[in-house]
Chain A
Amino acid sequence: MEFLRTPYAQIEVNNGILYFTYLPISNFNIQMAKQVVADRLKIQGEIPYPILCDIRQLNFPDLEARRYLAIEGSILTKAVAYLKGPTTDHLTHFFVKVDQPVVPTKLCTSHEEALEFLNAFVK
């Protein structure tokens, strides 16, 4: 099991799934987005994973950061399940609908729902 904690997120690989949990971040901008993606790639090596992305504590990224996460943020990802909270559900919906990530994406309200979606992408 691989594990990394950065100022922005906690990243963990377990049973073929990468668990990415955002920590509370204020003013999430493009530099942070680049750092977040670079940190994730570092732990992945060159292996693509399905990702369970917990954004319940996330302060929503600005426009430039969202564009980056939707496109460059898809590198080495097979699929992403976003675990949304009561205050982030509409923002996540906005991200998926408007910024359009380029990998299969699902908005989930529980770990179980997210894992059920991601398990189809585990080798």
Chain B
Amino acid sequence: MKNSSEDIRYEELLNMILELAMGNFAHRFQPKGYQDHIEKLGLMLNLLAEELSGFFIHPGSFGEKDLADPYVFMMDSELRISGVNCRFTDLLKYPKLKLIGKPITDFMTEQAADYLTKQLHVNSKAEQTFTPIRLLVAFVSRYGNIMECWGYCHLLQNTRGIYYFFRGLPIIEKNDPTETSKNADQIADLTQANAFRTLQYQTDILRVRKVHQYILLNLHQSLPPIPIMARQFNLNEFKLKKGFKELYDTTIFKFHLEKRLEMAKLMIKNTPASLKIVAKKYGFRNYSHFSKVFKIKYGKKPSYYKGKRNRF
């Protein structure tokens, strides 16, 4: 009886992984109240689904207008295709059964295959599992057309091993098969031409996320100038400014100011701390300056919120 119940719950876990692979991030594993590994893994997958949906609905991930029509495929640790959506089969012009079980590299240009293999190998080895790897790869369709495509690749793990989950959009189609000689460096260079796509590699994304965390740790004081922050986090100024905007949809200094104001408002509403002390605690040079920017954001002076709890 127990085994049967376990089997059903195990099937639910597998189903959850498949739902994720199909891009259904709203699906959830239903906890049953057991205290075992299946329950733990199910809850972890629920958290992963939330995080993944955050990446994909963020305007910095893809153009919002393109979200409705992504291609999706899943690979095992040997880079063999284990699942595809119909968008991807349409892209390559192969029937589903001709793709499943085959190495993904069979459907890419040689250079792109090397690039993908290298990137996944490097990032998997570094256990960079929290941030997806952003890649530009070139697929070859059944009729020899080459499609260069942006995508995010996530590393997933379950009890049976590692899987790669890839989701992306075709951006360029080339009809000349001789273009297959384009090497990985040239593919990377293409990305430089697209000013909006500033963050090319996972390391850049990780660095910008560190900047985000740094700002949160420094809400009590002014931030250093951009050139100094850029040096501190090994980014150039352009990547720091544009990259932050792409990932968080706001500028560094606007984010810093707004977070300080939010924290200050919370303090004002819920503690007896004086307005001047709150202003000082969050690094405003004086109360007058604090009051002015506070009113611009909330439409009321800080004193309006003093003692007004439960008005979120």
Using a CB–CB distance below 8 Å, which chain A residues touch chain B?
31, 34-35, 37-38, 41-42, 44-46, 60, 62-63, 71-72, 75-76, 86-87, 90-91, 94, 97-98, 100, 102
Contacts of B216 on A, CB cut-off 8 Å?
A: 71, 102
Known: A72-B266, A75-B263, A98-B130. A46 touches B273 (CB 8 A): yes
- Bound complex: CA A62 to CA B28 (Å): 12
Contacts of B47 on A, CB cut-off 8 Å?
A: 60, 91, 94, 98
Contacts of B266 on A, CB cut-off 8 Å?
A: 37-38, 41, 72, 75
* Cβ-defined contact, B309 with A38, below 8 A: yes
- The reply on B179 being an interface residue by CB < 8 A is no
B129 to chain A, nearest CB (A): 10
- Bound complex: CA A31 to CA B262 (Å): 15
* Cβ-defined contact, B217 with A46, below 8 A: no
Stretch with Cβ within 8 A of A (4 or more), from B38-46, B67-75, B200-208: B38-46
Say which residue of B54, B259, B269, B271 sits within 8 Å of A44 (CB atoms): B271
- Bound complex: CA A76 to CA B267 (Å): 9
* Cβ-defined contact, B50 with A62, below 8 A: yes
- The reply on B299 being an interface residue by CB < 8 A is no
A-B contact pairs, 9 of them (CB 8 A): A42-B270, A46-B267, A46-B273, A72-B263, A76-B271, A90-B43, A91-B44, A91-B47, A100-B213
Say which residue of B40, B262, B273 sits within 8 Å of A87 (CB atoms): B40
* Cβ-defined contact, A63 with B312, below 8 A: no
Known: A63-B51, A98-B51, A102-B216. A42 touches B309 (CB 8 A): yes
* Cβ-defined contact, B40 with A90, below 8 A: yes
- The reply on B272 being an interface residue by CB < 8 A is yes
* Cβ-defined contact, B40 with A45, below 8 A: no
Number of residue pairs spanning A and B whose beta carbons lie under 8 angstroms apart: 62
Q: Give the nearest-CB partner of B265 in chain A.
A: A72
Q: Mark B207-223, 1 if CB is under 8 A from A, else 0.
A: 00000010011000000
Contacts of B273 on A, CB cut-off 8 Å?
A: 45-46
Q: Give the nearest-CB partner of B44 in chain A.
A: A90
* Cβ-defined contact, B271 with A87, below 8 A: no
- The reply on B3 being an interface residue by CB < 8 A is no
Known: A38-B309, A62-B50. A45 touches B271 (CB 8 A): yes
Known: A63-B54, A87-B40. A75 touches B267 (CB 8 A): yes
Using a CB–CB distance below 8 Å, which chain B residues touch chain A?
35, 39-40, 43-44, 47, 50-51, 54, 130, 213, 216-217, 259, 262-263, 266-267, 269-273, 277, 309-310, 312
Q: Give the nearest-CB partner of A44 in chain B.
A: B271
- Bound complex: CA A35 to CA B270 (Å): 10
Say which residue of A38, A45, A75 sits within 8 Å of B310 (CB atoms): A38
Q: Give the nearest-CB partner of B278 in chain A.
A: A46
Contacts of B271 on A, CB cut-off 8 Å?
A: 41-42, 44-46, 76
- Bound complex: CA A95 to CA B43 (Å): 13
- Bound complex: CA A50 to CA B76 (Å): 45
Known: A46-B273, A72-B262. A91 touches B43 (CB 8 A): yes
- Bound complex: CA A71 to CA B255 (Å): 13
- Bound complex: CA A44 to CA B50 (Å): 32
- Bound complex: CA A86 to CA B34 (Å): 11
* Cβ-defined contact, A38 with B270, below 8 A: yes
- Bound complex: CA A98 to CA B297 (Å): 29
Contacts of A60 on B, CB cut-off 8 Å?
A: 43, 47
* Cβ-defined contact, B217 with A102, below 8 A: yes
Say which residue of A31, A63, A75, A100 sits within 8 Å of B50 (CB atoms): A63
Contacts of A42 on B, CB cut-off 8 Å?
A: 270-271, 309
A46 to chain B, nearest CB (A): 4
Of the listed residues A31, A35, A37, A46, the one surrounded by the most CB atoms of chain B closer than 10 A to its CB is: A46
- Bound complex: CA A44 to CA B270 (Å): 9
Q: Give the nearest-CB partner of A72 in chain B.
A: B266
Contacts of A37 on B, CB cut-off 8 Å?
A: 266, 270
A51 to chain B, nearest CB (A): 15
Known: A46-B277, A63-B54. A41 touches B40 (CB 8 A): no
